[in-house]
């Protein structure tokens, strides 16, 4: 009973504190957008007036006083403005208290000058600051940004609360009712910790959405009244000074308010929060929390010893993995890294685009080797052929080295392990050199025997062979060492018994040697498949996917998407797909292996 | 970050936000804000120099620190590996964990400007006099959409490097080049008059630009399959496959090896080649030949310009600027040229006799005057890999230049569209 209550308590704590944070942020964004909308209109109107004033040959000071006039006529004298000119780096006009103008900008006022450069040539920019909404718009003469007008609006617009007190009360009563019901029906008690957070989050989401929709129009009408006043004042000033204005009356539409607060995203965030709360509630109410706590209390020393490794794993393995996983649901690229997560969120679009890529080219165009399924096919052929050759050569070498009475075994063994001991990128670059069509050792050898030189990197097949040869060279020593170790453990008596029974050497190999090797070789093959599947160095350094990226494998393709196309989100999704393929392979492989192991016993 | 921090801390409309998540978020943001405002005891400069360039930079830093002792903070140079440099800057500076200044080539600049909060504009500090202190065109490389973001320090561009024993007089036109090369080439025995990494788009660009092509036009549109680029490609195709003048699969390592074994008389490469060239070879540097096939227009290789940037959000921009100006100015550039072996971007350095009279420096300077800065648009990085692929396709006669470039144009344009779409979505 106590456990169920604390489950509800902690789940609600999570949901409510998170929801309050989200709602406060949303309200703040909405109010900032509302205050900012007027500031934006003011800035762009003043800039429009200023631009036409400068074009008509008015001095910068005269333009400054026109701006002051507009603010006065529209009753916005509380707004602070600055007129900054690019040439001369000058503060031309200002109505900030204790700020003399005109004068050159001081060194500490560089941000004002930089603002001119940072503004779009058409339009204005809004930055909320502690003092109030801060908007700036460029003065444009002959297509050049010659200066800017900056508005800081000290008065703030405050909209109604997103959830009213009445609604909060209703939610509270609902929660109490469910808890009460759970107390009366002990069987259902444990589920309260799941139902309450989900329900609260859902209701909050629905209410916020409804409230946002109903208040947006009211807010907007107020804003448009203010904007109209500024617009009218500006036109009046323009007419009385004989200035011609271009463009339409500034008008705010629902997008201003709607754009500031994404209602759908807010609802989703709240639901996620509800899910999180439900997980925590379930964790407590179904007893997992208590048993975890008991385990911790019973084995404090063990957990203390494990803690450093656990923290290391969390920080170095799980966090990057989780980050990459989240990244894969965004369209993060070089250009929008700074945007918020919700702006970059695209859901499953990356996965849909990767898995739904059926553009194979053809019909006039070249074959599309960038296609995901082609790359996946190449990767699978690459992995399979490497493992087949690696294992057979490794096994063959191990059998040769295992011959009784062979002289110089130590020397052979050292020589054969060498490819493994040399860093693989050095080996890869060496092999690349050996495959050079004119100066490479391989073509020279072919020519020495009277053959025709092969253009190794010009066609899909030969180029694939270059990578295969290099990787087999790199991988057979590992298989050889594993097989050799296992061979030496095979009981000699079995061969003797087999010979007495008249078994041929071939039968001895298939019926004694191979089955004895299986426990050692299978894990090695599993590991080797994963390594080869993601063998970046060899592909990248030897053939680099030539020709036309046809020999790219999934992991090198992901690298190119991330670091040559700068589409980080897409590359993350690509990596997750690679992970899933290997996960599926791993699960099946382990099932199959444990099945055979069980049969042996 | 600053305004968000102040929002989190300021009294807000809702008095009940003192909830767990809200509080921890506020504390986190406030923490970030505080670390940004802190002024370090020294100006930190990140660079990727090694060897004598590093020594020269440290000398300039020490000289500057001594000059401003007591008035401004000293400079501390921190070496960062070159291959990780740009990504480290992109990751660290917007999070206020980066240096005050950093030295890097100009080609990543557009990306930093577009992603924001990485590099600071310096037009405010830059006087007309400062501008005139640089060789013509240098500041264009560090200017993006009309705003200057860095001071050029040195430049690198490919030129014609030749073995004086084998080629007494370097060719002035491609017609002469082909004549000399035809005489010296015996492909079967692995001897070449002229070798360069012709299937590498970086080196090919000199010819493409000479024909009037390039990767982007002035408006920033992709023009890879422009007729000028196709004509330039056909010329290379003719050299390689019709006249059989060029080696197969020409990696840079192969070009160096051929030159050092005196199997290649002339190569197209940059100043970095000089340290790889065998000391026994008497080599000369000349301006790349004019293209006879393009009305004797000069080849215009791409130039990369190393520049010093002010990191966005540095504690004292003016102080940082003063070191940047010192390093790019007469004293700094002369030290970097003489002791660091760089080709200075500053006019003043060439008034030092030892620099002005060096034939190799003079040749590279003359080539630099003809070179064009590599585009600093962020989209440029998307061009490299597909362009190299296209180069390999048509040089190996797999397809025509036109169709190779058409495919390449489509591929790069799609990548650019994907990148821009993300930006539009993110800013909406």
The tens digit of pLDDT for each residue in A91-109 reads 988 888 888 878 888 888 8
- Kindly state the greatest CA–CA separation across chain A: 120
Contact A24 B14 (CB under 8 A): yes
Question: Poorest-confidence range of A260-274, A390-404, A451-465, A586-600?
Answer: A586-600
Residue range A427-445, pLDDT digits in tens: 999 999 899 888 889 988 9
Q: What is the pLDDT of residue A190?
A: 80
Task: Name the most confidently modeled range: A206-210, A302-306, A401-405, A547-551.
Answer: A302-306
| Torsion-angle region of A345 (φ positive above 0: left; ψ -120 to 50: alpha; else: beta) | beta
Asked if A127 contacts A150 with a C-beta cutoff of 8 angstroms, the reply is no
Kindly give the pairing relationship between strand B101-105 and strand B43-47: parallel
**For residues A47 and A122, is the Cβ–Cβ distance under 8 A?**
no
What residues in A contact B29, CB-CB < 8 Å?
none
A163: nearest Cα among A218, A202, A210, A217? A210
Chain B hits for A565, CB-CB cut-off 8 Å, are 382, 415, 418-419
Please give the full DSSP string across B207-244, using - where no structure is assigned: HHHHTT--SB-TTS-B-TT-HHHHHHHHHHHIIIIIS-
Closest residue of chain B to A545, computed from CA coordinates = B389
pLDDT of res. A335: 78
Q: Burial level of B316, CB count in 10 A (0-12/13-18/19+)?
A: middle
State both tokens at A495.
């061969």
pLDDT at position A601, please? 46
Which pLDDT value is given to residue B33?
Answer: 39
pLDDT < 50: residue spans in chain B: 1-37, 426-428
Percent with pLDDT over 90 in chain A: 22
Q: What pLDDT score does B8 carry?
A: 28
Give B 125-164 residues with CB within 8 A of chain A.
Answer: 125, 146-147
CA diameter of chain B? 87
- Residue B416: count of CB within 10 angstroms of its CB: 20
Specify whether the backbone of A450 is left (phi greater than 0), alpha (psi in -120 to 50) or beta.
Answer: left
Torsion, CA B390, CA B394, CA B397, CA B401, rounded to 10 = 130
The answer to whether residue B124 neighbours chain A at the CB level (below 8 Å) is: yes
Contacts of B398 in chain A (CB under 8 A): 458, 547
Query: Is 60 exceeded by the pLDDT of residue A598?
Result: no
In chain B, whose CA is at the least distance from the CA of A568?
B419
Task: For residue B143, give the chain A residue with the closest CA.
Answer: A117
* Rounded average pLDDT over A52-63: 87
pLDDT attached to residue B68: 92
**A316 and chain B: CB distance < 8 Å anywhere?**
no
Using the predicted structure, report yes or no on whether residue A130 has a pLDDT greater than 90: no
Query: Residue B210 CB: number of other CB atoms within 10 A?
Result: 27
Residues of A numbered 50-109 whose beta carbons fall under 8 angstroms of chain B's beta carbons: which are they?
89, 105, 107
pLDDT of A129 strictly over 80: no
Would you state the structure tokens that stand for residue A483, as one six-digit string? 């097989």
Please write the tens of the pLDDT for every residue from A327-372: 999 888 877 777 777 778 888 889 998 998 887 776 656 678 888 9
Q: How far apart are CA B348 and CA B362, in angstroms?
A: 14
| C-alpha torsion A446→A448→A453→A456, nearest 10 | 40
Question: Of chain B residues 100-119, which have a CB less than 8 A from chain A?
Answer: 111, 114-117
User: What is the mean predicted confidence (pLDDT) over A102-122?
Assistant: 83
- The pair of three-digit structure tokens given for residue B346, joined into one six-digit string: 């500053």
User: When comparing pLDDT for A22 and A189, which is higher?
Assistant: A22
Q: Is A441 on the interface with B (CB under 8 A)?
A: no
- Report the distance separating Cα A104 and Cα A120, nearest Å: 24
Q: Residue A256 — pLDDT band, cuts 50, 70, 90?
A: low
Contact B147, B264 (CB under 8 A): no
Sketch out chain A's domains with CATH numbers.
2-23+163-294 (no CATH), 34-153 (3.30.450.40), 299-358+567-601 (no CATH), 372-549 (1.10.3720.10)
Q: Which of A426, A431, A423 is nearest to A466 (CA)?
A: A431
Band of residue A132 on the pLDDT scale cut at 50, 70, 90? confident
pLDDT-derived band at A119, boundaries 50, 70, 90: confident
Query: What would the pLDDT profile of A257-298 be if each residue is shown by its tens digit?
Result: 555 566 777 888 888 889 999 999 888 888 888 888 998 899
CB of A343 within 8 Å of a chain B CB? The answer is yes
CA distance A365 to chain B (A): 8
Residue indicated by tokens 């270059």: A466
Asked if residues B98 and B312 have their Cβ atoms less than 8 Å apart, the reply is no
| Domains of chain B, earliest start first | 43-156+304-357 (3.40.190.10), 159-300+376-427 (3.40.190.10)
Interface confidence: ipTM more than 0.85: no
B-facing residues of A in 191-220 (CB < 8 A) are none
Task: Using CB atoms, pick whichever of A23, A158, A564 lies closest to residue B384.
Answer: A564
Interface of A with B in 147-166 (CB under 8 A): 158, 161
Q: Do A343 and B428 touch (CB under 8 A)?
A: yes
In terms of DSSP H, where are the helices of A435-488? Answer: 441-448, 460-488
Q: How far is CA A249 from CA A47, A224, B317, in A?
A: 14, 11, 40
Radius of gyration of chain A (CA): 36
User: Among A9, A110, A345, A429, which would you mutate to test the B interface (most chain B Cβ atoms within 10 Å of its Cβ)?
Assistant: A110
Cα(A235)–Cα(A244) distance, integer angstroms? 9
């Amino acid at each position: 009973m106590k456990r169920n209550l604390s489950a509800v308590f902690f789940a609600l704590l999570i949901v409510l504190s998170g929801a309050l944070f989200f709602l406060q942020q949303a309200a703040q964004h909405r109010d900032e957008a509302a205050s900012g909308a007027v500031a934006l209109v003011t800035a762009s109107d003043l800039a429009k007036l200023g631009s036409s004033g400068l074009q008509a040959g008015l001095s910068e000071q005269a333009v400054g006083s026109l701006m002051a006039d507009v603010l006065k006529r529209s009753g916005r004298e509380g707004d602070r403005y600055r007129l900054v000119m690019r040439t001369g780096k000058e503060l031309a006009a200002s109505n900030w208290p204790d700020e003399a103008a005109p004068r050159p900008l001081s060194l500490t006022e560089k941000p004002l000058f930089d603002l001119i450069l940072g503004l779009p040539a058409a339009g204005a920019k809004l930055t909320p600051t502690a003092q109030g909404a801060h908007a700036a718009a460029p003065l444009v003469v002959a297509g050049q940004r010659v200066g800017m007008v900056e508005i800081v609006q000290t008065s703030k617009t405050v909209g109604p609360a997103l959830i009213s007190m009445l609604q909060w009360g209703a939610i509270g009563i609902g929660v109490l009712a469910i808890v009460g019901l759970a107390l009366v029906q002990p069987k259902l008690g444990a589920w309260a910790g799941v139902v309450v957070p989900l329900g609260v989050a859902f209701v909050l989401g629905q209410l916020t959405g409804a409230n946002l929709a109903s208040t947006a129009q009211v807010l907007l009408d107020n804003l448009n009244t203010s904007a109209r006043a500024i617009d009218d004042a500006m036109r009046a000033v323009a007419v009385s000074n004989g200035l011609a204005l271009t463009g339409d009356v500034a008008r705010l539409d629902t997008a201003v308010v709607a754009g500031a607060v994404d209602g759908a995203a807010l609802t989703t965030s709240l639901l996620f929060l509800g899910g999180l709360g439900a997980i925590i509630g379930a964790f407590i109410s179904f007893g997992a929390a208590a048993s975890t706590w008991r385990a911790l209390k019973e084995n404090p020393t063990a957990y203390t010893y494990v803690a450093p490794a656990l923290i290391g794993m969390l920080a170095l393995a799980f966090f990057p993995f989780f980050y990459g996983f989240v990244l894969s649901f965004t369209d993060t690229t070089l250009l929008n890294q700074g945007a918020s997560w919700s702006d970059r969120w695209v859901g499953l679009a990356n996965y849909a685009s990767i898995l739904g890529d059926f553009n194979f080219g053809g019909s006039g165009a070249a074959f599309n080797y960038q296609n995901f399924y082609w790359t996946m096919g190449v990767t699978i052929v690459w992995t399979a052929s490497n493992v087949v050759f690696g294992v057979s050569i490794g096994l063959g070498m191990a059998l040769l080295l295992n011959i009784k009475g062979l002289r110089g075994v130590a020397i052979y063994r050292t020589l054969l392990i060498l490819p493994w001991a040399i860093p693989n990128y050095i080996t890869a670059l060496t092999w690349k050199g050996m495959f050079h069509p004119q100066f490479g050792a391989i073509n020279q050898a072919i020519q020495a025997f009277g053959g025709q030189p092969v253009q190794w990197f010009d066609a899909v097949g030969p180029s694939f062979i270059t990578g295969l040869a290099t990787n087999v060279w790199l991988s057979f020593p590992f298989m050889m060492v594993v097989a050799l170790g296992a061979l030496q453990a095979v009981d000699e008596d079995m061969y003797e018994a087999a010979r007495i029974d008249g078994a041929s050497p071939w039968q001895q190999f298939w019926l004694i040697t191979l089955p004895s090797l299986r426990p050692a070789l299978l894990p090695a093959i599993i590991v080797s498949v994963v390594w080869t599947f993601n063998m970046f160095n060899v592909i990248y350094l030897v053939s680099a996917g030539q020709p036309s990226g046809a020999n790219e494998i999934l992991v090198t393709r992901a690298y190119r998407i991330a670091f040559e196309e700068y589409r980080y989100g897409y590359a993350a999704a690509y990596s997750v797909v690679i992970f899933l393929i290997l996960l599926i392979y791993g699960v099946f492989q382990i099932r199959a292996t444990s099945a055979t192991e069980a049969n042996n016993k | 970050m600053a305004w968000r921090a102040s929002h989190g801390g300021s009294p807000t409309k809702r008095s009940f936000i003192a909830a767990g998540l809200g509080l921890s978020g506020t504390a986190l943001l406030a923490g970030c804000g505080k670390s940004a405002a802190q002024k370090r005891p020294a100006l930190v400069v990140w660079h990727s120099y090694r060897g004598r360039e590093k020594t020269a930079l440290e000398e300039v830093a020490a000289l500057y620190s001594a000059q401003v002792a007591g008035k401004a903070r000293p400079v501390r140079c921190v070496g960062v590996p070159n291959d990780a440099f740009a990504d480290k800057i992109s990751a660290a500076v917007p999070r206020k964990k980066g240096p005050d200044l950093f030295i890097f080539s100009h080609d990543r600049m557009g990306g930093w400007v577009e992603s924001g909060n990485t590099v600071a504009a310096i037009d405010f500090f830059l006087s007309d006099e400062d501008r005139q202190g640089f060789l013509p065109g240098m500041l264009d490389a560090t200017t993006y959409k009309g705003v200057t973001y860095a001071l050029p320090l040195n430049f690198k561009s490919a030129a014609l490097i030749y073995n004086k024993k084998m080629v007494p007089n370097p060719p002035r036109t491609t017609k002469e080049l082909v004549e000399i090369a035809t005489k010296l080439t015996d492909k079967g025995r692995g001897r070449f008059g002229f070798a360069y990494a012709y299937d590498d788009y970086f080196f090919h660009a000199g010819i493409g630009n000479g024909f009037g092509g390039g990767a982007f036009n002035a408006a920033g549109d992709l023009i890879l399959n422009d007729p000028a680029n196709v004509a330039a490609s056909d010329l290379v195709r003719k050299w390689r496959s019709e006249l059989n003048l060029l080696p197969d699969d020409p990696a840079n390592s192969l070009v160096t090896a051929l030159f050092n074994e005196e199997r290649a008389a002339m190569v197209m490469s940059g100043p970095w080649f000089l340290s790889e060239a065998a000391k026994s070879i008497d080599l000369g540097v000349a301006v790349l030949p004019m293209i006879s096939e393009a009305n004797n227009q000069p080849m215009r290789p791409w130039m990369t310009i190393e520049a010093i940037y002010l990191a966005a959000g540095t504690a004292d921009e003016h102080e940082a600027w003063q070191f940047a100006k010192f390093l790019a100015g007469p004293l700094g550039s002369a030290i970097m040229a003489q002791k660091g072996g760089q080709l200075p971007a500053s006019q003043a350095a060439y008034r030092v006799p030892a620099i002005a009279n060096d034939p190799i420096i003079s040749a590279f300077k003359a080539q630099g005057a003809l070179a064009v800065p590599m585009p600093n648009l962020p989209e440029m990085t998307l061009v490299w890999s597909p362009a190299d692929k296209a180069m390999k396709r048509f040089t190996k006669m797999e397809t025509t230049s036109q169709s190779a470039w058409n495919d390449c144009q489509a591929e790069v344009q799609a990548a650019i569209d994907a990148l821009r779409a993300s930006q539009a979505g993110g800013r909406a």
